[in-house]
Amino acid sequence: MALVKHKNTHIEYRKIIFYIFFATILVTGASFGWIKFQEEQEKKIILAQNLLVKECLKPTVNNNFSETAKNVDRAVKLLDSIPQLPGSTYPKAQTELANFSECIKTVNAKNSFITAQLLSKRALSVDNQTILPITEWRKIRLDLTAAIIQIDSIPSDIEIGKEAQKELKKYQNQLKVIDKNIQDEQLAIEGLNNARNLKIAAENMIRRQNNLQSLSRAELRLKDAITIMIKLPEGTTISAQKNDYLQTYQSLLNDIQDKIAVIRINDLVNTFRKFAGELNTKIEYAEYSEDVEKLKSNFNNTIKESSAIKNNPTTKSLAKALSHYEDALIIKRYCYEGNCINSGSAFIFQSKWKALWIPVSFKLGSVPITEKYILPVTSNILRKKYVKVDEALAWIWAEAEAEIEQIK
């Protein structure tokens, strides 16, 4: 047991010696490292001093100012890199910064001023008449914003401070111009995209169905697209191509309106033909008046909805037919008001004594009936000339029907 205990004591002693030796090495190494570190910091201070003395104690040459700014910036970074540690050269570095603070401030201000001028050069060269892609406008704005940051960092209490404030105001005003151009360009792009989407929607509608309902919806889409394009801001990359887009959209709109016109005018022709086929001279005034008003309203609404058919030959023929139906209405109203005479008064050799007659002087508008229409005329014993109402109506309606039937 005694032998084991003696061996353990020997081992513990060796460990202690090892730890002391290791600690000695560490302390020595740390001391050497600290000395080396301090030497490096001293070198930094000396180099920074030399740079600051060189650039601050001599007149600054404008054409070589970038070199001055680089040297001063390098010196400041060297001094700022010295850490704040007990026993370090940190206080000495701060003293140097304080000694050259005015020079550093002046050089930094002038450097900021020059940098701002370079960054703002492109921005100051544009105006409201300049047309550029939105990516270019954004790049210009980014540079001008950076210039504003640079110029705004210049203290007002130094020589260049007042000039910097003038520049700042100029940059801020120009920023508004650029923002307006960016806004207009953005609105133009969005407007064009909206117009394109409306055009595509219109094309899809008429591609799927070619009936009046789908064509009418497509027409509205195209009209909206054209309105958007017309209202696009001027002075943009899009506005330069606006007329080309408008021509394309208008061409498609005209095509759609032509198709709508064909459908509507065919429907209108069928309505007129049906009306013509159901007429007879025995139809009562009130019923005829109501039917003519409906026909007239249908005709006018169709013309209003489809301006493309206003001067169409078919439309002109229908308009003539409608005028004949209105002439017949005038005659029926005249008789309905009790102004027509019966056959007894006319005293003509007829088997139908209850037939109605109107004098040849009767006018349709400002034209006598026998001048406007070729009608058979009969005289009574007093040699007064009359036209039979039934024959006049039948003749007028026949002319109206002839106008309708000639339509292809």
> Scanning the structure block, which residue is given the tokens 């899809």?
204
321 and 198 in a common domain: no
Q: Which of 181, 213, 242 is the last residue of a domain?
A: 181
Residue 24 confidence class, pLDDT cut points 50, 70, 90: low
In a domain, 272, yes or no: no
In a domain, 207, yes or no: yes
199 and 176 in a common domain: no
Query: Using one digit for the tens of pLDDT, what is the confidence trace for 89-124?
Result: 788 778 877 878 788 888 888 889 999 999 999 999
226 and 307 in a common domain: no
Please compute the mean of the pLDDT values over residues 354-358 and round it to a whole number: 79
Radius of gyration of the chain (CA): 51
Please compute the mean of the pLDDT values over residues 301-312 and round it to a whole number: 76
In a domain, 334, yes or no: yes
CA–CA separation, 4 and 352 (whole Å): 163
- State the DSSP code for 139: H
Q: Are strands 341-342 and 385-388 parallel, antiparallel or unpaired?
A: unpaired
In a domain, 270, yes or no: no
* pLDDT for residue 396: 95
- State the DSSP code for 233: P
Q: Is the dihedral of CA 370, 376, 377, 380 positive or negative?
A: negative
* pLDDT for residue 21: 52
> Scanning the structure block, which residue is given the tokens 């007042």?
162
What is the percent of the chain where pLDDT is above 70?
84
Q: Which of 181, 209, 237 is the last residue of a domain?
A: 181
**Residues in Cβ contact with 54 at an 8 Å cutoff, skipping those fewer than 6 apart:** 71
145 and 62 in a common domain: yes
76 and 149 in a common domain: yes
Helix (H, G, I), strand (E, B) or coil at 279: coil
CA–CA separation, 196 and 310 (whole Å): 29
22 and 123 in a common domain: yes
**Residues in Cβ contact with 257 at an 8 Å cutoff, skipping those fewer than 6 apart:** 219, 306, 307, 308
**Residues in Cβ contact with 73 at an 8 Å cutoff, skipping those fewer than 6 apart:** 108, 111
In a domain, 329, yes or no: yes
* pLDDT for residue 6: 54
Tell me the β-bridge partners of 357: 341, 388
- How many CB atoms lie under 10 A from the CB of residue 232? 20
Which residue from 47, 163, 61, 168 is spatially nearest to 107, judged by alpha carbons? 61
Extract long-range pairs of 62-69: CB within 8 Å, 24+ residues apart. 65/110, 65/111, 65/114, 66/114, 68/107, 69/107, 69/108, 69/110, 69/111, 69/114
In a domain, 209, yes or no: yes
**pLDDT reading at 383 higher than 80:** no
What mean pLDDT is reported for the chain? 84
398 and 317 in a common domain: yes
Query: Of the ranges 3-17, 218-232, 266-280, which one carries the lowest mean pLDDT score?
Result: 3-17
**pLDDT reading at 55 higher than 80:** no
**pLDDT reading at 404 higher than 50:** yes
DSSP code string of 163-211? HHHHHHHHHHHHHHHHHHHHHHHHHHHHHHHHHHHHHHHHHHHHHH--S
Domain of 336, in residue numbers: 278-405
CA–CA separation, 94 and 89 (whole Å): 9
Number of domain units in the chain: 3
234 and 97 in a common domain: no
Q: Which of 157, 181, 205 is the last residue of a domain?
A: 181
Please compute the mean of the pLDDT values over residues 291-298 and round it to a whole number: 94
With beta carbons less than 8 A apart as the criterion, state whether 388 and 378 touch.
Answer: yes
* pLDDT for residue 104: 83
201 and 161 in a common domain: no
* pLDDT for residue 151: 93
161 and 17 in a common domain: yes
Query: Using one digit for the tens of pLDDT, what is the confidence trace for 160-187?
Result: 889 999 999 999 999 999 999 999 999 9
With 0-12 / 13-18 / 19 or more C-beta atoms within 10 angstroms meaning exposed / middle / buried, residue 329 is: buried
With beta carbons less than 8 A apart as the criterion, state whether 107 and 51 touch.
Answer: no
In a domain, 2, yes or no: no
197 and 81 in a common domain: no
* pLDDT for residue 380: 63
CA–CA separation, 314 and 268 (whole Å): 10
In a domain, 273, yes or no: no
Q: Are strands 385-388 and 363-364 parallel, antiparallel or unpaired?
A: unpaired
Query: Of the ranges 41-50, 132-141, 165-174, 178-187, which one carries the lowest mean pLDDT score?
Result: 41-50
286 and 249 in a common domain: no
> Scanning the structure block, which residue is given the tokens 């640079």?
150
What is the pTM assigned to this prediction?
Answer: 0.63
Please compute the mean of the pLDDT values over residues 379-404 and round it to a whole number: 87
